[in-house]
Structure 1
Amino acid sequence: MEMVLDVYKQPYDPLYPVVCMDESPKQLIAETRIPIPATPGQLARYDYEYSLKGTCIIFMANEPLVGKRMVRITTNRKRVDWARFLEEIANQYKNAERIMLVMDNLNTHEPGSFYHAFNPEKAKALLDRFEFVYTPKHGSWLNMAEIELRVLTTQCLDRRIDTITKVRSEVAAWEMKRNNNNSKINWRFTNEKARIKLLRLYPTIEE
């Protein structure tokens, strides 16, 4: 935890950008009956029944100090999907010496995944572009990409959407608007505050 918080307090450096990455499933849900549109004095009405149309995966990467994020929607969350998303991240930071990537400990989030997606030369070249910063187990709340995913859900995806094409269209519009607004995250949790609020997590040392 303290290693992650140390990364967050670093000043902005375009050569070593701090990027947070996370992923989340989204159910595709269709209406079984045509909704009744809103009228004066009456809200729109939807039937409680719905039809599941599968799921899609939302990959989110954001650079909190700049107010920039990148979202990709896929059908799977396998090693190959994660590695290809990181390739996209690397392409967004071609001038960076090394990308500090904050993420959780999901089993696909490890160097070997590059070798499932690319030949060894390309896999090693991509791997060298990143420095992985893992959040602790049960500490994924330290990942600021989770904040972005919650904002995305609240502002864009908190409703029934039945196709991955529609999800991609809606998310692309949200991403463009939020990036144009340079929406940043003001992270205030520090090691000093952690040692007070999360004192129970620290070992007790007997003199």
Structure 2
Amino acid sequence: MEAILEVYHLPYDPYYPVVYMDESCKQMIGEVRDPIPCKPGQPARIDDEYVRNGVAEILMEVEPLAGKRHVVVTERRTKKDWARQIKQMLDERYPNAIKVRLIMDNLNTHGIASFYDTFPPKEARRLAERLDIHYTPKHGSWLNMAEIELSVLKGQCLERRIADMTTMQTEVTAWEKDRNDRTRKIVWQFTTADARIKLKRLYPQL
């Protein structure tokens, strides 16, 4: 926890950007009957019955100090999917970065081995050398700012029924553009000093 918090308070450096990554999912739900739009004196009406159309996987990547985020909506969440997304992040969104300081949880797909399962060894090593990975501790997902951004995404964009992958990707892309155009940042205030006071139960008693 303290190692993560120290990374959070590093000054902005475009050559060593701090990027947070997290994943979630959203069930795609279709309507059995068309909703009835609202009209004066009457709210919109939606039938309780619905159709399940599968689950969309959401990968959130956010750089709070720059006010940037990138969201990917896919059908799967495998090691190879993660590896391809990280390659795209490094080569397209951070081509000039010497190393990307990547904060994420310790999911079994989130590792250097995923590069070697996906790319030739030379390419896998190239990607690995451009990452400085910091894993959040067990039960410490609240330390990842990408979780905050995922919560905003769900509240502003995914709070309603969305029936199919194409519509969801379109809606999420529009949300991402609006957030980036506004340069929305996250101001993190919890420090190591705060942790030693408020979470002292986690520390050994010497």
Q: Scaled by the length of structure 2, what TM-score is found?
A: 0.98
Displacement of 1:111: 0.6
1:48-69 deviation line (CA, Å, top 9, x unaligned): 1111100111111000101000
Counterpart of 1:53? Answer: 53
| Root-mean-square deviation over aligned CA pairs | 0.7
Displacement of 1:195: 0.8
**1:3 & 1:136 partners in 2: Cα distance?**
10
Number of matched pairs: 205
Which structure 2 residues correspond to residues 1-207 of structure 1 after superposition, within 5 A? 1-91=1-91, 92-205=93-206
Aligned residue for 1:157, secondary structure, equals: coil
* Unaligned ranges ≥5, structure 2: none
Displacement of 1:162: 0.9
1:117-148 deviation line (CA, Å, top 9, x unaligned): 11111111111110100000010110000011
**1:196 & 1:112 partners in 2: Cα distance?**
38
Displacement of 1:13: 0.6
Aligned residue for 1:26, secondary structure, equals: strand
Aligned residue for 2:16, secondary structure, equals: coil
Structure 1's consecutive aligned runs of 4 or more residues displaced over 6 angstroms after TM superposition are none
**2:62 & 2:7 partners in 1: Cα distance?**
14
Displacement of 1:41: 1.3
Q: After alignment, is 116-125 or 99-108 more displaced?
A: 116-125
**2:165 & 2:131 partners in 1: Cα distance?**
30
Aligned residue for 2:157, secondary structure, equals: helix
AA aligned to 1:177 is D
* Unaligned ranges ≥5, structure 1: none
Q: Scaled by the length of structure 1, what TM-score is found?
A: 0.97
1:152-178 deviation line (CA, Å, top 9, x unaligned): 000001110010100100000000010
